[in-house]
Amino acid sequence: MQLPVINNTASEAPKGGCSAGSCGSTDDQMNHLPEHIRQKVFNHPCYSEEAHHYFARMHVAVAPACNIQCNYCNRKYDCANESRPGVVSELHHPVQAVKKVLAVAATIPQMTVLGIAGPGDPLANPERTFETFRMLSEQAPDIKLCVSTNGLSLPEQVEELSKYNIDHVTITINCVDPDVGAQIYPWIFWKNKRIKGREAAEILIAQQQKGLEMLVAKGILVKVNSVMIPGVNDKHLEEVSKIVKAKGAFLHNVMPLISEAEHGTFYGLTGQRGPTNEELQALQDACEGDMNMMRHCRQCRADAVGLLGEDRGSEFTMDKVEQMEINYPEAMKMRAEVHAAINEELESKRLAKESKVQLVSIQGVQKKEVTRPVLMAVATKGGGVINEHFGHAGEFLIYEASSDGVRFIGHRKTTPYCEGDISCGDGESVLDKTLKVLAGCEAVLCSKVGYEPWGPLEAAGIQPNGEHAMEPIEDAVLKVYEEMRVAGKLEAKQDEQQKVA
């Protein structure tokens, strides 16, 4: 039996770039975008779930200053071991940053997007940020530029932003209620004064909303990021989602709070916890009815380089970049070829999917039987296919298969089961961690699964599966789901087990 891919059964045939049924961002929402917007997002890994399997991004850390304080942030940013927003290893002057971008773009041709995201607020560093954008728009016109901001000084910068062809802006909006905001932001710097408490939150919220409206009016694509803080704004974020959608935001990205005590943040030190995977997914699902949700965010560092799941920043430290001879006009030709090849691949996948959907709509409808949804974990290193060993996976993508089709749920990080000698010695506990991370999943699809983890995975109710190596993720998930159906494993009886997990 062929199962339809969610939302693709709509009468309108999918067209345009992003269509692999897995968009963060479900298919339907992407397919109903006007063509000019689809053109802006189809190769942007942060805006299109499909694109993030193929295209890479980088951030340059040119903007260290910030004009607000958030309770989930602290201002030391020189740790190479932490991977989270606001953390960088090297701060760059704009000229260095541009050098680094050209080096990365020439080495990793899949890199389509350059973002400035901190470690402070890019718009609190307007000279450094705009100097970088200006040089890049001249020297590397084939790179998309985007920026991420807390929004406080956004309204006064919208005009300047639109000059550099920046068509993607992310605003972090954690609340629209100043009483909630007062629990997230201890202070802002505003009109030459430090302002604290509720008043600070009130000003910040007003500026964020105004900035959002101004960007939308200019036709600039806006993504809204929100940090989910249980007990503080978790209930409130559904309202935030509705409001930002009504104002024209394109995508909403609800991210889990990161609050380890060793990060030294207010939340870390006062024991504020982050949400569980299940809580995060429930909130994303609740917002989804109103809004296009992003689920593939990796909360990357302010100097991250590479595909979203990876960070190749250490290959491009400034001393290494200084040694590289880059002929960018030559590199641009090679990049164009690589991009064309990827686009061709995406297009052929889209056509294949389209014909499959038509087939399903002819023969699939009458015998649609409702089966329970199943979560499956997938190990991939990109390309939209199952191509990573279980033991090498530093993260798993989570898909939900149901009688409605397959949808992407999110990703879960872990420590690779077999990463060199060090962690292999401690293999037991590393595997335990992965088993915990995969809680709720009933299968894990990898290019290969070793003998050792096989038993414990099965015992935990997670069926290891190495039979679909190099197959497109969604096709493989559907096949496994279909096998489960045929084997009678999709009856309601396993419901309980799912809930416990």
Q: Does 192 bind other proteins (CB under 8 A)?
A: yes
Q: Does 91 bind other proteins (CB under 8 A)?
A: yes
Residue 415: exposure state from Cβ atoms within 10 A (0-12, 13-18, ≥19)? middle
C-alpha dihedral sign at 41, 44, 46, 48: positive
Of 69, 272, 447, 465, which lies in the binding site for other proteins, with binding defined by CB under 8 A?
69
Residue 392: CB minimum distance to other proteins, A = 36
How remote is the C-alpha of 33 from its chain's centroid? 19
Residue 155: CB minimum distance to other proteins, A = 19
- Per CB under 8 A, the segment of 19-27, 189-197, 248-256, 346-354 that binds other proteins is 189-197
The smaller minimum CB distance to other proteins, of residues 48 and 71, is found at 71
Q: Does 74 bind other proteins (CB under 8 A)?
A: yes
| Binding to other proteins, residues 243-272 (CB under 8 A) | 266, 269-270
The smaller minimum CB distance to other proteins, of residues 259 and 281, is found at 259
Of 15, 75, 163, 235, which lies in the binding site for other proteins, with binding defined by CB under 8 A?
75
Residue 71: CB minimum distance to other proteins, A = 8
Cis peptide bond upstream of 472, omega within 30? no
How far apart, in whole angstroms, are the C-alpha atoms of residue 428 and residue 436? 13
Q: Does 67 bind other proteins (CB under 8 A)?
A: yes
Other C-beta atoms lying within 10 Å of the C-beta of residue 459: 9
The smaller minimum CB distance to other proteins, of residues 270 and 497, is found at 270
Residue (of 233, 249, 251) closest to 177 by Cα position: 233
Q: What are the Cα distances from residue 65, in Å, to 128, 176, 187, 482?
A: 10, 24, 14, 53
Residue (of 176, 201, 177) closest to 188 by Cα position: 201
Per-residue x/- marks for other proteins, 16-55, CB under 8 A? Answer: ----------------------------------------
Coil, strand or helix at 398: strand
Q: Which residues does 310 contact at the CB level (< 8 Å), separation at least 6?
A: 381
432: its two tokens: 């335990």
Residue 186: CB minimum distance to other proteins, A = 5
The smaller minimum CB distance to other proteins, of residues 183 and 414, is found at 183
Q: Does 96 bind other proteins (CB under 8 A)?
A: no
Other C-beta atoms lying within 10 Å of the C-beta of residue 372: 17
Of 10, 35, 39, 76, which lies in the binding site for other proteins, with binding defined by CB under 8 A?
76
Q: Does 147 bind other proteins (CB under 8 A)?
A: no
Interface size with other proteins, residues (CB under 8 A): 25
Sheet of 187-190: strands edge to edge? Answer: 68-69, 187-190, 193-196
Residue 116: CB minimum distance to other proteins, A = 14
Residue (of 305, 256, 206, 199) closest to 412 by Cα position: 256
Q: Which residues does 459 contact at the CB level (< 8 Å), separation at least 6?
A: none
Q: Does 209 bind other proteins (CB under 8 A)?
A: no
Other C-beta atoms lying within 10 Å of the C-beta of residue 136: 24
Residue 119: CB minimum distance to other proteins, A = 8
Per-residue x/- marks for other proteins, 270-299, CB under 8 A? Answer: x-----------------------------
> Which positions touch other proteins (CB under 8 A)?
64-67, 69, 71, 74-77, 91, 120, 124-125, 127-128, 186-187, 189, 192-194, 266, 269-270
